[in-house]
């Protein structure tokens, strides 16, 4: 069975059921049942119209579940019968589903988690890693979100800011995780930017394009991570960079700055530098100041400390770092980098080891371990 095909069809099938009157939770359950049936029967008897097959089976599962629930008899009476056989509608409901999942009855964090699970196709474990929480905690959050929206008609669009956060999380998981959703996130964000008269979706699209342009250079042939400063810039996608910069400039010209535009501006400064040494770190710090003003995020402040260390020297970076909570993700890695630049190799090596133990994935853990070994080798330890 073509898993990529099924993955691409699932959001549209879910959207069709919702448009026909199924509440979100029941529709997702029915689609999951249809997918199980597809895994069982498609290898021996693949359908000519996979999407139509999934819609028909999922709709039957939904109607069966509705008829079996006497508490929902009244709602069942208002539903149309099973549609006539034929090709499924060619409408792409994926983007609309992102809006529907950002429902006013959900908190932003629950809306993001539910959308990533039901529409983005991420596993509970992947979403938990994106949120830096235990998988059991995320499973409970998603279950509560499904219970909250059970029986709710998604007839009002959700918050655009929440949809943008969803798309950005999907992109980041696809960019660095084990599920490649980056291209899909870019496609959906491009649709959103074209459909909404606001510069922030365009800022997010620019940010995605600028990050995606560096993808080929982010890993070595053996799969190990290559830090930004060491990447072969000749492998960067200049077409994606040019498009991202043009989109960003048009968005900034509207003078309605948002956090994704500011992040894209930082990415553009990195993309514009012929070498790492030629990066305009003073401007990078200025854009991080804007981001701090917009978000107040401690993670932004952590990244700002790195930029300050490049613009004003490692002592200045360490001073900026000292004002932050040392339990922040990647705090130890940033501290190690700044101590190394300041010449304190023993402290830097110890911090690289600490950072490796806290790394969110194997590739990053291996990279940090190599950094510690490199410094220990230089100091003769």
Question: Which structure tokens are listed for 62?
Answer: 């939904």
- Contacts for 58-62 with beta carbons within 8 Å, 24 or more apart? 58/13, 58/17, 58/27, 58/30, 58/31, 58/33, 58/34, 59/17, 59/20, 59/30, 59/83, 61/29, 61/30, 61/33, 61/34, 62/17, 62/22, 62/26, 62/27, 62/29, 62/30
Residues 349, 308: Cα–Cα separation, whole Å: 21
Residue 234 to residues 18, 50, 216, 242, 347, Cα–Cα distance (Å): 46, 41, 10, 14, 34
Q: Please determine, for residue 7, whether its predicted confidence score (pLDDT) is greater than 50.
A: yes
203 near 260, Cβ under 8 Å? Answer: yes
Q: What pTM was estimated for this model as a whole?
A: 0.76
More confident residue, 162 or 96: 162
Torsion of CA 145, 98, 15, 149, to 10 degrees: 20
- Identify the DSSP state of 85: S
Closest CA to 228 of 206, 209, 248, 211: 211
What was the pLDDT predicted at 69?
A: 66
Closest CA to 324 of 361, 296, 355: 296
Segments of 146-268 assigned E as strands: none
Q: What is the mean pLDDT of residues 68-93?
A: 52
Strand partners, 225: 219
φ and ψ at residue 225, rounded to 5 degrees? -70, 145
Residues 266, 272: Cα–Cα separation, whole Å: 10
What was the pLDDT predicted at 352?
A: 96
119 near 61, Cβ under 8 Å? Answer: no
What was the pLDDT predicted at 103?
A: 77
At CA 231, angle to CA 204 and CA 344, rounded to 5? 105
CB crowding 177-197: b at 16 or more within 10 Å, else e? beeebbebbbebbbbbbeeee
Closest CA to 188 of 157, 166, 211, 216: 166
How many CA atoms, within 13 angstroms, populate the side-chain half-sphere of residue 92? 9
115 near 97, Cβ under 8 Å? Answer: yes
5 near 46, Cβ under 8 Å? Answer: no
- Contacts for 76-84 with beta carbons within 8 Å, 24 or more apart? 78/21, 79/20, 79/21, 80/20, 80/21, 82/56, 83/20, 83/56, 83/59
Residues 56, 116: Cα–Cα separation, whole Å: 24
121 near 49, Cβ under 8 Å? Answer: no
Average pLDDT over all residues of the chain: 86
Q: Please determine, for residue 290, whether its predicted confidence score (pLDDT) is greater than 90.
A: yes
What was the pLDDT predicted at 115?
A: 81
Q: Residue 73 — pLDDT band, cuts 50, 70, 90?
A: low
Q: Please determine, for residue 90, whether its predicted confidence score (pLDDT) is greater than 60.
A: no
Q: Please determine, for residue 357, whether its predicted confidence score (pLDDT) is greater than 90.
A: yes
More confident residue, 100 or 187: 187
Integer Rg of the chain from CA:
24
- 256-272: per-residue pLDDT in tens? 999 999 999 999 999 99
């Amino acid at each position: 069975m073509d898993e990529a095909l099924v993955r691409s069809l699932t959001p549209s099938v879910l959207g069709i059921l919702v448009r026909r009157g199924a509440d979100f939770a029941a529709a997702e359950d029915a689609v999951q049942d249809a997918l199980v049936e597809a895994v069982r029967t498609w290898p021996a008897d693949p359908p000519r119209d996979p999407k139509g097959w999934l819609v028909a089976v999922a709709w039957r599962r939904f109607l069966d579940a509705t008829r079996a629930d006497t508490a929902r008899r009244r709602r069942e009476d208002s539903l149309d019968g099973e549609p006539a056989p034929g090709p499924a509608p060619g409408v792409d409901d994926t983007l609309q589903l992102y809006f529907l999942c950002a429902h006013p009855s959900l908190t932003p964090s629950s809306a993001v988690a539910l959308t990533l699970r039901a529409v983005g196709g991420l596993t509970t474990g992947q979403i938990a890693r994106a949120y830096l929480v235990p998988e059991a905690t995320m499973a409970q959050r998603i279950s509560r979100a499904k219970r909250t929206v059970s029986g709710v008609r998604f007839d009002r669009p959700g918050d655009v800011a929440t949809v943008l956060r969803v798309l950005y999380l999907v992109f980041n998981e696809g960019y660095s995780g084990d599920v490649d959703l980056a291209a899909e996130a870019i496609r959906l964000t491009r649709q959103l930017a074209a459909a909404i008269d606001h510069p922030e979706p365009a800022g997010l699209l620019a940010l995605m394009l600028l990050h995606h342009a560096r993808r080929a250079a982010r890993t070595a042939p053996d799969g190990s991570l290559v830090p930004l400063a060491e990447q072969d810039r000749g492998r960067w996608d200049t077409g994606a960079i040019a498009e991202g910069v043009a989109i960003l400039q048009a968005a900034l010209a509207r003078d309605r700055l948002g956090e994704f535009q500011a992040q894209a501006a930082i990415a553009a400064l990195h993309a514009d530098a012929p070498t790492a040494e030629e990066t305009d770190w003073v401007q990078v710090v200025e854009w991080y100041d804007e981001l701090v003003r917009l978000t107040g995020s401690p993670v932004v402040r952590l990244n700002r400390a790195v930029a300050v260390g490049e613009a004003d020297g490692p002592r200045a970076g360490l001073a900026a770092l000292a004002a932050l909570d040392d339990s922040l993700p990647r705090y130890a890695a940033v501290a190690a980098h700044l101590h190394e630049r300041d010449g304190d190799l023993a402290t830097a090596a110890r911090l690289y080891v600490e950072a490796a133990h806290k790394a969110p994935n194997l590739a990053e853990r291996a990279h940090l371990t190599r950094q510690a070994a490199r410094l220990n080798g230089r100091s003769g330890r």
